[in-house]
Structure 1
Protein backbone atom coordinates (compact mmCIF):
# COMPACT_ATOMS: atom_id res chain seq x y z
CA UNK A 1 0.00 0.00 0.00
CA UNK A 2 1.38 3.42 -0.95
CA UNK A 3 2.63 5.51 1.96
CA UNK A 4 0.07 7.91 3.44
CA UNK A 5 -2.94 6.17 1.90
CA UNK A 6 -3.87 3.82 4.74
CA UNK A 7 -5.75 6.57 6.60
CA UNK A 8 -7.85 7.31 3.51
CA UNK A 9 -8.64 3.61 3.23
CA UNK A 10 -9.71 3.47 6.87
CA UNK A 11 -11.81 6.61 6.52
CA UNK A 12 -13.65 5.11 3.55
CA UNK A 13 -14.08 1.59 4.97
CA UNK A 14 -15.67 2.67 8.25
CA UNK A 15 -18.61 4.22 6.39
CA UNK A 16 -20.14 0.77 5.92
CA UNK A 17 -18.43 -1.06 8.78
CA UNK A 18 -19.99 -2.64 11.85
CA UNK A 19 -20.45 -0.51 14.95
CA UNK A 20 -17.37 -2.00 16.62
CA UNK A 21 -15.17 -1.58 13.54
CA UNK A 22 -16.39 1.98 13.10
CA UNK A 23 -15.46 2.74 16.70
CA UNK A 24 -12.02 1.24 16.15
CA UNK A 25 -11.50 3.09 12.86
CA UNK A 26 -12.40 6.43 14.40
CA UNK A 27 -10.01 5.79 17.30
CA UNK A 28 -7.17 4.95 14.89
CA UNK A 29 -7.81 8.05 12.79
CA UNK A 30 -7.59 10.24 15.90
CA UNK A 31 -4.51 8.46 17.26
CA UNK A 32 -2.65 7.30 14.14
CA UNK A 33 0.78 8.21 15.49
CA UNK A 34 0.30 6.34 18.76
CA UNK A 35 -1.23 3.09 17.45
CA UNK A 36 2.03 1.66 15.96
CA UNK A 37 3.49 1.65 19.48
CA UNK A 38 0.57 -0.29 20.99
CA UNK A 39 0.07 -4.02 21.38
CA UNK A 40 -3.20 -5.53 20.22
CA UNK A 41 -4.20 -5.84 23.89
CA UNK A 42 -3.40 -2.15 24.53
CA UNK A 43 -5.39 -1.02 21.48
CA UNK A 44 -8.30 -3.22 22.52
CA UNK A 45 -8.38 -1.60 25.94
CA UNK A 46 -8.00 1.97 24.68
CA UNK A 47 -10.52 1.71 21.82
CA UNK A 48 -13.06 -0.40 23.70
CA UNK A 49 -13.30 -3.16 21.08
CA UNK A 50 -12.21 -6.81 21.17
CA UNK A 51 -8.87 -8.08 19.92
CA UNK A 52 -10.73 -10.20 17.36
CA UNK A 53 -12.33 -7.02 15.98
CA UNK A 54 -8.89 -5.44 15.59
CA UNK A 55 -7.57 -8.44 13.64
CA UNK A 56 -10.70 -8.60 11.47
CA UNK A 57 -10.56 -4.84 10.84
CA UNK A 58 -6.93 -5.11 9.73
CA UNK A 59 -7.67 -7.96 7.32
CA UNK A 60 -10.64 -6.08 5.86
CA UNK A 61 -8.13 -3.39 4.87
CA UNK A 62 -6.27 -6.00 2.80
CA UNK A 63 -3.49 -6.40 5.37
CA UNK A 64 -2.13 -9.57 6.96
CA UNK A 65 -3.27 -8.61 10.45
CA UNK A 66 -2.63 -6.04 13.16
CA UNK A 67 1.13 -6.21 12.58
CA UNK A 68 0.61 -5.13 8.96
CA UNK A 69 -1.69 -2.31 10.09
CA UNK A 70 0.96 -1.02 12.50
CA UNK A 71 3.57 -1.01 9.72
CA UNK A 72 1.32 0.98 7.39
CA UNK A 73 0.37 3.44 10.12
CA UNK A 74 4.02 3.94 11.05
CA UNK A 75 4.83 4.76 7.44
CA UNK A 76 1.97 7.20 7.10
CA UNK A 77 2.56 8.89 10.44
CA UNK A 78 5.98 10.28 9.64
CA UNK A 79 5.70 14.02 9.01
CA UNK A 80 2.14 13.77 7.70
CA UNK A 81 -0.22 16.70 7.95
CA UNK A 82 -3.50 15.06 8.93
CA UNK A 83 -5.32 17.95 7.26
CA UNK A 84 -4.41 16.36 3.94
CA UNK A 85 -7.04 13.71 4.62
CA UNK A 86 -9.81 16.29 4.83
CA UNK A 87 -12.01 17.19 1.86
CA UNK A 88 -10.84 19.97 -0.46
CA UNK A 89 -11.75 23.31 1.06
CA UNK A 90 -12.29 26.83 -0.36
CA UNK A 91 -9.57 27.99 2.05
CA UNK A 92 -6.86 25.64 0.73
CA UNK A 93 -3.80 27.24 -0.81
CA UNK A 94 -2.27 26.02 -4.08
CA UNK A 95 0.33 23.84 -2.36
CA UNK A 96 -2.25 22.25 -0.08
CA UNK A 97 -4.55 21.54 -3.03
CA UNK A 98 -1.66 19.95 -4.89
CA UNK A 99 -0.77 17.74 -1.93
CA UNK A 100 -4.37 16.67 -1.34
CA UNK A 101 -4.93 15.75 -4.99
CA UNK A 102 -1.64 13.86 -5.25
CA UNK A 103 -2.50 11.89 -2.11
CA UNK A 104 -5.97 10.99 -3.41
CA UNK A 105 -4.74 10.06 -6.88
CA UNK A 106 -1.96 7.87 -5.47
CA UNK A 107 -4.45 6.21 -3.18
CA UNK A 108 -6.96 5.68 -5.98
CA UNK A 109 -4.41 4.08 -8.30
CA UNK A 110 -3.07 1.89 -5.51
CA UNK A 111 -6.46 0.58 -4.40
CA UNK A 112 -7.77 0.19 -7.95
CA UNK A 113 -4.69 -1.75 -9.00
CA UNK A 114 -4.95 -4.11 -6.03
CA UNK A 115 -8.68 -4.59 -6.52
CA UNK A 116 -8.79 -5.34 -10.26
CA UNK A 117 -9.28 -9.08 -10.71
CA UNK A 118 -6.96 -10.54 -13.40
CA UNK A 119 -9.55 -13.22 -14.20
CA UNK A 120 -12.24 -10.66 -15.09
CA UNK A 121 -9.78 -8.45 -16.96
CA UNK A 122 -8.74 -11.38 -19.16
CA UNK A 123 -12.36 -12.41 -19.67
CA UNK A 124 -13.09 -8.86 -20.84
CA UNK A 125 -10.24 -8.97 -23.33
CA UNK A 126 -11.48 -12.37 -24.55
CA UNK A 127 -14.91 -10.85 -25.19
CA UNK A 128 -13.49 -7.84 -27.02
CA UNK A 129 -11.33 -10.12 -29.18
CA UNK A 130 -14.27 -12.29 -30.22
CA UNK A 131 -16.66 -9.40 -30.90
CA UNK A 132 -16.97 -7.78 -34.32
CA UNK A 133 -18.43 -4.67 -32.70
CA UNK A 134 -17.94 -3.10 -29.25
CA UNK A 135 -20.75 -0.78 -28.17
CA UNK A 136 -19.76 1.53 -25.34
CA UNK A 137 -21.76 3.94 -23.22
CA UNK A 138 -20.98 6.31 -20.39
CA UNK A 139 -22.86 9.39 -19.22
CA UNK A 140 -21.31 12.61 -17.92
CA UNK A 141 -17.72 12.10 -16.75
CA UNK A 142 -17.97 8.42 -17.69
CA UNK A 143 -18.46 9.52 -21.30
CA UNK A 144 -14.94 10.97 -21.21
CA UNK A 145 -13.69 7.47 -20.39
CA UNK A 146 -15.81 6.03 -23.21
CA UNK A 147 -14.19 8.55 -25.60
CA UNK A 148 -10.73 7.52 -24.42
CA UNK A 149 -11.61 3.85 -24.95
CA UNK A 150 -12.98 4.59 -28.44
CA UNK A 151 -9.87 6.49 -29.49
CA UNK A 152 -7.57 3.71 -28.29
CA UNK A 153 -9.38 0.73 -29.78
CA UNK A 154 -10.35 2.44 -33.04
CA UNK A 155 -6.70 3.11 -33.79
CA UNK A 156 -5.93 -0.61 -33.74
CA UNK A 157 -8.78 -1.43 -36.09
CA UNK A 158 -11.53 -2.38 -33.66
CA UNK A 159 -15.07 -1.37 -34.63
CA UNK A 160 -16.35 0.73 -31.71
CA UNK A 161 -19.75 2.42 -31.55
CA UNK A 162 -19.83 5.20 -28.97
CA UNK A 163 -22.62 7.75 -28.59
CA UNK A 164 -24.48 9.54 -25.79
CA UNK A 165 -27.65 9.27 -27.90
CA UNK A 166 -29.36 6.36 -26.15
CA UNK A 167 -31.90 5.90 -28.96
CA UNK A 168 -29.14 5.54 -31.54
CA UNK A 169 -27.13 3.22 -29.34
CA UNK A 170 -30.12 0.96 -28.68
CA UNK A 171 -30.94 0.90 -32.40
CA UNK A 172 -27.43 -0.37 -33.10
CA UNK A 173 -27.71 -2.81 -30.23
CA UNK A 174 -30.95 -4.34 -31.51
CA UNK A 175 -30.22 -4.36 -35.25
CA UNK A 176 -26.56 -5.39 -35.43
CA UNK A 177 -26.13 -8.80 -37.08
CA UNK A 178 -22.46 -9.12 -36.17
CA UNK A 179 -21.25 -10.50 -32.85
CA UNK A 180 -21.18 -7.64 -30.39
CA UNK A 181 -20.38 -6.87 -26.77
CA UNK A 182 -21.68 -3.95 -24.70
CA UNK A 183 -19.28 -2.06 -22.42
CA UNK A 184 -21.06 0.14 -19.86
CA UNK A 185 -19.29 2.67 -17.61
CA UNK A 186 -20.91 4.10 -14.48
CA UNK A 187 -19.08 4.93 -11.27
CA UNK A 188 -22.20 4.54 -9.14
CA UNK A 189 -23.55 1.65 -11.18
CA UNK A 190 -27.03 3.13 -10.77
CA UNK A 191 -27.33 5.52 -13.74
CA UNK A 192 -30.82 4.95 -15.11
CA UNK A 193 -29.89 5.22 -18.80
CA UNK A 194 -27.04 2.76 -18.33
CA UNK A 195 -29.26 0.24 -16.57
CA UNK A 196 -31.96 0.48 -19.23
CA UNK A 197 -29.42 -0.23 -21.98
CA UNK A 198 -28.00 -3.14 -19.96
CA UNK A 199 -31.44 -4.74 -19.58
CA UNK A 200 -32.14 -4.43 -23.31
CA UNK A 201 -28.78 -6.03 -24.09
CA UNK A 202 -29.48 -8.95 -21.77
CA UNK A 203 -32.91 -9.46 -23.39
CA UNK A 204 -31.19 -9.73 -26.75
CA UNK A 205 -28.40 -12.05 -25.54
CA UNK A 206 -25.68 -9.43 -25.90
CA UNK A 207 -22.83 -9.84 -23.43
CA UNK A 208 -22.50 -6.95 -20.96
CA UNK A 209 -19.24 -5.77 -19.38
CA UNK A 210 -19.73 -3.25 -16.57
CA UNK A 211 -17.13 -0.84 -15.16
CA UNK A 212 -18.17 0.53 -11.76
CA UNK A 213 -16.84 1.22 -8.29
CA UNK A 214 -19.98 -0.10 -6.58
CA UNK A 215 -19.93 -3.88 -6.21
CA UNK A 216 -23.48 -3.83 -4.83
CA UNK A 217 -24.90 -1.77 -7.68
CA UNK A 218 -27.49 -2.97 -10.17
CA UNK A 219 -24.95 -2.61 -12.98
CA UNK A 220 -22.49 -4.90 -11.20
CA UNK A 221 -25.23 -7.48 -10.67
CA UNK A 222 -26.63 -7.43 -14.21
CA UNK A 223 -23.25 -7.48 -15.99
CA UNK A 224 -21.82 -10.74 -17.30
CA UNK A 225 -18.39 -9.40 -16.37
CA UNK A 226 -18.02 -6.74 -13.68
CA UNK A 227 -14.80 -4.71 -13.48
CA UNK A 228 -14.57 -2.96 -10.11
CA UNK A 229 -12.58 0.24 -9.70
CA UNK A 230 -11.57 2.10 -6.55
CA UNK A 231 -14.27 3.28 -4.16
CA UNK A 232 -12.00 5.16 -1.79
CA UNK A 233 -13.57 8.59 -1.39
CA UNK A 234 -16.78 8.98 0.64
CA UNK A 235 -19.77 9.84 -1.55
CA UNK A 236 -20.40 13.07 0.35
CA UNK A 237 -16.96 14.33 -0.69
CA UNK A 238 -18.18 15.07 -4.19
CA UNK A 239 -15.36 17.36 -5.27
CA UNK A 240 -12.48 14.89 -4.87
CA UNK A 241 -14.73 11.90 -5.66
CA UNK A 242 -15.32 13.27 -9.17
CA UNK A 243 -11.57 13.39 -9.78
CA UNK A 244 -10.68 10.02 -8.30
CA UNK A 245 -13.51 8.10 -9.99
CA UNK A 246 -12.36 9.39 -13.39
CA UNK A 247 -8.73 8.49 -12.65
CA UNK A 248 -9.65 4.93 -11.60
CA UNK A 249 -11.83 4.38 -14.69
CA UNK A 250 -9.12 5.65 -17.05
CA UNK A 251 -6.58 3.41 -15.35
CA UNK A 252 -8.82 0.35 -15.77
CA UNK A 253 -9.40 1.15 -19.46
CA UNK A 254 -5.66 1.56 -20.02
CA UNK A 255 -5.00 -1.81 -18.40
CA UNK A 256 -7.64 -3.53 -20.56
CA UNK A 257 -6.19 -1.84 -23.64
CA UNK A 258 -2.63 -2.97 -22.97
CA UNK A 259 -3.78 -6.51 -22.22
CA UNK A 260 -5.60 -6.47 -25.56
CA UNK A 261 -2.49 -5.16 -27.35
CA UNK A 262 -0.42 -8.04 -25.95
CA UNK A 263 -2.69 -10.69 -27.46
CA UNK A 264 -1.48 -9.87 -30.99
CA UNK A 265 1.31 -7.47 -30.18
CA UNK A 266 3.15 -7.17 -33.50
CA UNK A 267 -0.03 -6.75 -35.53
CA UNK A 268 -1.55 -4.21 -33.14
CA UNK A 269 1.63 -2.16 -32.93
CA UNK A 270 1.77 -2.11 -36.73
CA UNK A 271 -1.81 -0.80 -36.86
CA UNK A 272 -0.90 1.94 -34.39
CA UNK A 273 2.04 2.97 -36.54
CA UNK A 274 -0.09 2.99 -39.68
CA UNK A 275 -2.84 5.10 -38.09
CA UNK A 276 -0.22 7.54 -36.82
CA UNK A 277 1.32 7.85 -40.30
CA UNK A 278 -2.08 8.42 -41.90
CA UNK A 279 -2.94 11.20 -39.48
CA UNK A 280 0.47 12.75 -39.97
CA UNK A 281 0.18 12.52 -43.77
CA UNK A 282 -3.24 14.15 -44.11
CA UNK A 283 -3.59 16.40 -41.09
CA UNK A 284 -0.12 17.59 -40.08
CA UNK A 285 0.89 21.09 -41.24
CA UNK A 286 2.79 21.08 -44.51
CA UNK A 287 6.42 22.04 -44.21
Structure 2
Protein backbone atom coordinates (compact mmCIF):
# COMPACT_ATOMS: atom_id res chain seq x y z
CA UNK A 1 0.00 0.00 0.00
CA UNK A 2 1.30 3.44 -0.89
CA UNK A 3 1.61 5.89 2.01
CA UNK A 4 -0.23 8.57 0.05
CA UNK A 5 -3.40 6.42 0.15
CA UNK A 6 -3.36 5.45 3.83
CA UNK A 7 -6.12 7.82 4.97
CA UNK A 8 -8.24 6.88 1.95
CA UNK A 9 -7.62 3.23 2.76
CA UNK A 10 -8.97 3.79 6.28
CA UNK A 11 -12.07 5.54 4.89
CA UNK A 12 -12.71 2.79 2.36
CA UNK A 13 -12.37 -0.03 4.92
CA UNK A 14 -14.13 1.78 7.76
CA UNK A 15 -17.41 -0.13 7.43
CA UNK A 16 -15.60 -3.49 7.38
CA UNK A 17 -13.77 -2.79 10.64
CA UNK A 18 -14.93 -4.00 14.02
CA UNK A 19 -16.70 -1.42 16.17
CA UNK A 20 -13.69 -1.15 18.48
CA UNK A 21 -11.37 -0.71 15.50
CA UNK A 22 -13.70 1.95 14.10
CA UNK A 23 -13.04 4.00 17.23
CA UNK A 24 -9.34 4.04 16.36
CA UNK A 25 -10.10 4.78 12.71
CA UNK A 26 -12.34 7.71 13.62
CA UNK A 27 -9.68 9.22 15.86
CA UNK A 28 -6.97 8.87 13.22
CA UNK A 29 -9.15 10.42 10.50
CA UNK A 30 -10.07 13.37 12.73
CA UNK A 31 -6.64 13.85 14.33
CA UNK A 32 -3.96 12.43 11.99
CA UNK A 33 -1.28 14.95 13.05
CA UNK A 34 -1.82 14.09 16.71
CA UNK A 35 -1.93 10.35 16.08
CA UNK A 36 1.63 10.21 14.73
CA UNK A 37 2.94 11.55 18.05
CA UNK A 38 1.17 8.96 20.22
CA UNK A 39 2.51 5.69 21.53
CA UNK A 40 0.37 2.60 21.17
CA UNK A 41 -0.69 2.95 24.81
CA UNK A 42 -1.61 6.60 24.34
CA UNK A 43 -3.67 5.87 21.22
CA UNK A 44 -5.46 3.03 23.00
CA UNK A 45 -6.25 5.36 25.91
CA UNK A 46 -7.44 8.17 23.63
CA UNK A 47 -9.82 5.84 21.77
CA UNK A 48 -10.89 3.81 24.83
CA UNK A 49 -9.81 0.48 23.37
CA UNK A 50 -7.13 -2.07 24.23
CA UNK A 51 -3.61 -2.06 22.80
CA UNK A 52 -4.24 -5.36 20.92
CA UNK A 53 -7.22 -3.63 19.27
CA UNK A 54 -4.90 -0.88 18.01
CA UNK A 55 -2.60 -3.53 16.53
CA UNK A 56 -5.55 -5.31 14.88
CA UNK A 57 -6.67 -1.98 13.42
CA UNK A 58 -3.21 -1.38 11.94
CA UNK A 59 -3.16 -4.80 10.31
CA UNK A 60 -6.75 -4.47 9.08
CA UNK A 61 -5.81 -1.40 7.03
CA UNK A 62 -2.79 -3.10 5.48
CA UNK A 63 0.04 -2.14 7.82
CA UNK A 64 2.50 -4.64 9.31
CA UNK A 65 2.07 -3.24 12.81
CA UNK A 66 1.83 -0.05 14.83
CA UNK A 67 5.22 1.37 13.89
CA UNK A 68 4.58 0.69 10.21
CA UNK A 69 1.21 2.44 10.59
CA UNK A 70 2.87 5.54 12.08
CA UNK A 71 5.48 5.60 9.35
CA UNK A 72 2.85 5.26 6.62
CA UNK A 73 0.80 8.03 8.23
CA UNK A 74 3.85 10.28 8.50
CA UNK A 75 4.59 9.74 4.81
CA UNK A 76 0.97 10.57 4.00
CA UNK A 77 1.12 13.85 5.91
CA UNK A 78 4.58 14.67 4.54
CA UNK A 79 3.08 15.53 1.17
CA UNK A 80 1.58 18.68 2.71
CA UNK A 81 4.44 19.44 5.07
CA UNK A 82 7.34 21.82 4.49
CA UNK A 83 9.73 20.24 6.92
CA UNK A 84 10.30 16.51 6.68
CA UNK A 85 7.76 14.01 7.93
CA UNK A 86 6.18 16.43 10.38
CA UNK A 87 7.28 19.37 12.45
CA UNK A 88 8.78 19.24 15.90
CA UNK A 89 6.46 20.98 18.35
CA UNK A 90 7.14 24.49 19.61
CA UNK A 91 7.69 23.25 23.16
CA UNK A 92 9.20 20.04 24.53
CA UNK A 93 6.81 17.17 25.19
CA UNK A 94 7.45 13.47 25.90
CA UNK A 95 6.63 12.84 22.22
CA UNK A 96 9.49 15.06 21.04
CA UNK A 97 12.13 12.33 21.24
CA UNK A 98 9.97 9.86 19.34
CA UNK A 99 9.28 12.55 16.73
CA UNK A 100 13.01 12.93 16.08
CA UNK A 101 13.33 9.19 15.52
CA UNK A 102 10.29 9.04 13.23
CA UNK A 103 11.43 12.05 11.21
CA UNK A 104 14.86 10.48 10.75
CA UNK A 105 13.41 7.16 9.61
CA UNK A 106 11.21 9.02 7.13
CA UNK A 107 14.16 10.99 5.76
CA UNK A 108 16.22 7.82 5.25
CA UNK A 109 13.38 6.16 3.37
CA UNK A 110 13.11 9.21 1.12
CA UNK A 111 16.86 9.17 0.47
CA UNK A 112 16.73 5.44 -0.29
CA UNK A 113 14.08 6.10 -2.93
CA UNK A 114 15.75 9.12 -4.52
CA UNK A 115 19.41 8.03 -4.65
CA UNK A 116 19.96 6.19 -7.92
CA UNK A 117 21.68 2.82 -7.45
CA UNK A 118 23.15 3.04 -10.96
CA UNK A 119 24.64 6.49 -10.34
CA UNK A 120 25.89 5.41 -6.91
CA UNK A 121 27.69 2.48 -8.54
CA UNK A 122 29.33 4.80 -11.06
CA UNK A 123 30.40 7.14 -8.26
CA UNK A 124 31.88 4.25 -6.29
CA UNK A 125 33.92 3.06 -9.28
CA UNK A 126 35.18 6.60 -9.84
CA UNK A 127 36.19 6.98 -6.17
CA UNK A 128 37.93 3.60 -6.12
CA UNK A 129 40.02 4.54 -9.16
CA UNK A 130 40.80 8.15 -8.25
CA UNK A 131 44.31 9.31 -7.46
CA UNK A 132 42.99 11.84 -4.93
CA UNK A 133 39.58 12.16 -3.29
CA UNK A 134 38.59 15.29 -1.41
CA UNK A 135 35.39 16.33 0.35
CA UNK A 136 33.99 19.87 0.44
CA UNK A 137 31.20 21.16 2.68
CA UNK A 138 30.23 24.00 5.01
CA UNK A 139 28.47 23.96 8.38
CA UNK A 140 26.68 20.69 9.09
CA UNK A 141 27.74 19.48 5.63
CA UNK A 142 31.34 20.24 6.62
CA UNK A 143 30.99 17.82 9.52
CA UNK A 144 29.74 15.19 7.07
CA UNK A 145 32.77 15.93 4.87
CA UNK A 146 35.10 15.30 7.83
CA UNK A 147 33.31 12.04 8.61
CA UNK A 148 33.69 11.03 4.96
CA UNK A 149 37.42 11.67 5.09
CA UNK A 150 37.60 9.55 8.26
CA UNK A 151 35.79 6.70 6.48
CA UNK A 152 37.70 6.83 3.21
CA UNK A 153 41.30 7.66 4.17
CA UNK A 154 41.87 4.01 5.06
CA UNK A 155 40.77 2.99 1.58
CA UNK A 156 42.18 5.76 -0.63
CA UNK A 157 45.82 6.83 -0.46
CA UNK A 158 45.27 10.57 -0.84
CA UNK A 159 42.10 11.70 0.94
CA UNK A 160 41.23 15.02 2.61
CA UNK A 161 38.28 17.16 3.74
CA UNK A 162 38.07 20.95 3.56
CA UNK A 163 35.40 23.10 5.21
CA UNK A 164 36.89 26.54 4.54
CA UNK A 165 36.38 28.26 1.14
CA UNK A 166 40.00 29.46 0.99
CA UNK A 167 41.35 25.96 1.62
CA UNK A 168 38.91 24.57 -0.93
CA UNK A 169 40.09 27.08 -3.54
CA UNK A 170 43.75 26.16 -2.92
CA UNK A 171 42.89 22.47 -3.04
CA UNK A 172 41.04 22.89 -6.35
CA UNK A 173 44.09 24.56 -7.91
CA UNK A 174 46.17 21.41 -7.35
CA UNK A 175 43.69 18.86 -8.73
CA UNK A 176 43.94 16.97 -12.00
CA UNK A 177 41.87 14.73 -14.30
CA UNK A 178 42.43 11.65 -12.14
CA UNK A 179 41.09 13.35 -8.98
CA UNK A 180 37.56 13.50 -7.59
CA UNK A 181 35.83 15.91 -5.23
CA UNK A 182 32.68 14.99 -3.34
CA UNK A 183 30.73 18.19 -2.69
CA UNK A 184 28.13 17.99 0.08
CA UNK A 185 25.30 20.50 0.47
CA UNK A 186 21.84 20.35 2.01
CA UNK A 187 20.52 23.02 -0.37
CA UNK A 188 22.94 22.85 -3.30
CA UNK A 189 22.78 26.64 -3.44
CA UNK A 190 25.64 27.91 -1.26
CA UNK A 191 27.43 30.51 -3.38
CA UNK A 192 30.96 29.95 -2.01
CA UNK A 193 30.61 26.20 -2.51
CA UNK A 194 29.43 26.71 -6.08
CA UNK A 195 32.46 28.90 -6.77
CA UNK A 196 34.94 26.31 -5.50
CA UNK A 197 33.11 23.57 -7.43
CA UNK A 198 33.58 25.60 -10.60
CA UNK A 199 37.29 25.76 -9.80
CA UNK A 200 37.34 21.98 -9.50
CA UNK A 201 35.72 21.67 -12.93
CA UNK A 202 38.25 24.11 -14.41
CA UNK A 203 41.02 21.84 -13.11
CA UNK A 204 39.44 18.93 -15.07
CA UNK A 205 38.73 16.96 -11.90
CA UNK A 206 35.40 15.15 -11.50
CA UNK A 207 32.63 16.13 -9.07
CA UNK A 208 30.21 13.92 -7.14
CA UNK A 209 27.39 15.97 -5.64
CA UNK A 210 25.43 15.00 -2.53
CA UNK A 211 22.65 17.52 -2.96
CA UNK A 212 19.10 18.02 -4.24
CA UNK A 213 18.58 17.14 -7.89
CA UNK A 214 18.23 20.16 -10.21
CA UNK A 215 19.95 22.46 -7.69
CA UNK A 216 22.77 24.69 -9.01
CA UNK A 217 25.33 22.31 -7.50
CA UNK A 218 23.69 19.31 -9.17
CA UNK A 219 24.00 21.02 -12.53
CA UNK A 220 27.77 21.32 -12.01
CA UNK A 221 28.31 17.74 -10.79
CA UNK A 222 29.29 14.79 -12.97
CA UNK A 223 27.32 12.42 -10.74
CA UNK A 224 24.44 13.47 -8.45
CA UNK A 225 23.30 11.48 -5.45
CA UNK A 226 19.92 13.13 -4.99
CA UNK A 227 19.25 13.99 -1.34
CA UNK A 228 16.55 16.65 -1.33
CA UNK A 229 15.26 16.72 2.23
CA UNK A 230 13.46 19.89 3.38
CA UNK A 231 13.66 20.87 7.03
CA UNK A 232 13.18 23.82 9.37
CA UNK A 233 16.68 25.30 9.42
CA UNK A 234 15.34 28.64 10.73
CA UNK A 235 14.83 27.09 14.15
CA UNK A 236 17.12 24.05 14.14
CA UNK A 237 20.46 23.10 12.65
CA UNK A 238 19.99 20.56 9.82
CA UNK A 239 18.99 17.27 11.40
CA UNK A 240 17.48 15.06 8.72
CA UNK A 241 19.72 15.86 5.75
CA UNK A 242 22.84 15.38 7.88
CA UNK A 243 21.83 11.83 8.82
CA UNK A 244 20.90 11.00 5.22
CA UNK A 245 24.24 12.36 3.99
CA UNK A 246 26.11 10.27 6.56
CA UNK A 247 24.32 7.10 5.48
CA UNK A 248 25.09 7.77 1.81
CA UNK A 249 28.75 8.33 2.74
CA UNK A 250 28.71 4.95 4.52
CA UNK A 251 27.24 3.41 1.37
CA UNK A 252 30.02 4.90 -0.76
CA UNK A 253 32.71 3.77 1.69
CA UNK A 254 31.34 0.24 1.75
CA UNK A 255 31.22 0.18 -2.03
CA UNK A 256 34.80 1.42 -2.35
CA UNK A 257 36.04 -1.14 0.19
CA UNK A 258 34.38 -4.01 -1.68
CA UNK A 259 35.59 -2.71 -5.05
CA UNK A 260 39.20 -2.51 -3.89
CA UNK A 261 39.23 -5.99 -2.33
CA UNK A 262 41.33 -8.05 -1.97
CA UNK A 263 44.21 -5.63 -2.32
CA UNK A 264 42.98 -3.39 0.48
CA UNK A 265 42.72 -6.18 3.05
CA UNK A 266 46.36 -6.16 4.13
CA UNK A 267 46.27 -2.41 4.62
CA UNK A 268 43.11 -2.63 6.76
CA UNK A 269 44.63 -5.44 8.82
CA UNK A 270 47.71 -3.32 9.48
CA UNK A 271 45.56 -0.39 10.57
CA UNK A 272 43.62 -2.62 12.99
CA UNK A 273 46.87 -4.00 14.36
CA UNK A 274 48.20 -0.50 14.99
CA UNK A 275 44.99 0.47 16.75
CA UNK A 276 45.15 -2.67 18.88
CA UNK A 277 48.55 -1.57 20.17
CA UNK A 278 47.02 1.65 21.46
CA UNK A 279 44.49 -0.17 23.66
CA UNK A 280 45.05 -1.55 27.13
CA UNK A 281 44.97 -5.29 27.53
CA UNK A 282 42.06 -6.65 29.56
CA UNK A 283 44.48 -7.52 32.37
CA UNK A 284 45.80 -3.97 32.51
CA UNK A 285 44.07 -1.28 34.55
Where on the TM-score scale, by shorter chain, does this alignment land: which range? Answer: 0.5 to 0.7
Distance 2:272 2:121 in 1: 27
Query: Which residue of structure 2 aligns with residue 251 of structure 1?
Result: 247
Distance 1:133 1:149 in 2: 14
| Aligned residue runs from structure 1 range 64-143, under 5 A | 71=62, 76=69, 86-93=86-93, 95-143=94-142
TM-score normalised by L of structure 2 = 0.68
- Aligned with 2:272 (options 271, 276, 279): 276
Output one character per residue of 1:246-280: Cα deviation in whole Å (capped at 9) or x when no partner. 11000111111111111133333432221122233
Change (3 A) 1:144 1:198: same
What runs of 5+ residues in structure 1 fail to find an aligned partner?
11-27, 39-69
Distance 2:123 2:91 in 1: 44
Work out which of the two has the higher radius of gyration on C-alpha atoms and give 1 or 2: 2
Distance 2:235 2:179 in 1: 36
User: Which SS does the other structure have where 1:272 is aligned?
Assistant: helix
- 1:132–1:179 Cα contact (<8 Å) kept: yes
Give the C-alpha shift of residue 190 in structure 1.
Answer: 0.5
What runs of 5+ residues in structure 2 fail to find an aligned partner?
15-60, 78-83
Change (3 A) 1:143 1:36: farther
- 2:133–2:180 Cα contact (<8 Å) kept: yes
Change (3 A) 1:90 1:284: same
- 1:88–1:97 Cα contact (<8 Å) kept: yes
Give the number of equivalent residue pairs: 226
Between structures 1 and 2, the one with greater helix share: 1
Query: Which residue of structure 2 aligns with residue 183 of structure 1?
Result: 182
Change (3 A) 1:36 1:253: farther
- Greater relative contact order (Cα 8 A, min sep 6): structure 1 or 2? 1
Q: Does 1:217 align with 2:249?
A: no
Distance 1:87 1:236 in 2: 8
Cα RMSD, aligned residues only: 3.4
- 2:144–2:245 Cα contact (<8 Å) kept: yes
| Aligned residue runs from structure 1 range 4-83, under 5 A | 6=3, 34-37=10-13, 71=62, 76=69
The structure 1 segments of at least 4 consecutive aligned residues displaced by more than 3 Å after TM superposition are: 31-38, 70-75, 77-82, 235-241, 283-287
Change (3 A) 1:34 1:271: same
Query: Which residue of structure 2 aligns with residue 15 of structure 1?
Result: none
Give the C-alpha shift of residue 144 in structure 1.
Answer: 1.2
TM-score normalised by L of structure 1 = 0.67
- 2:71–2:102 Cα contact (<8 Å) kept: no
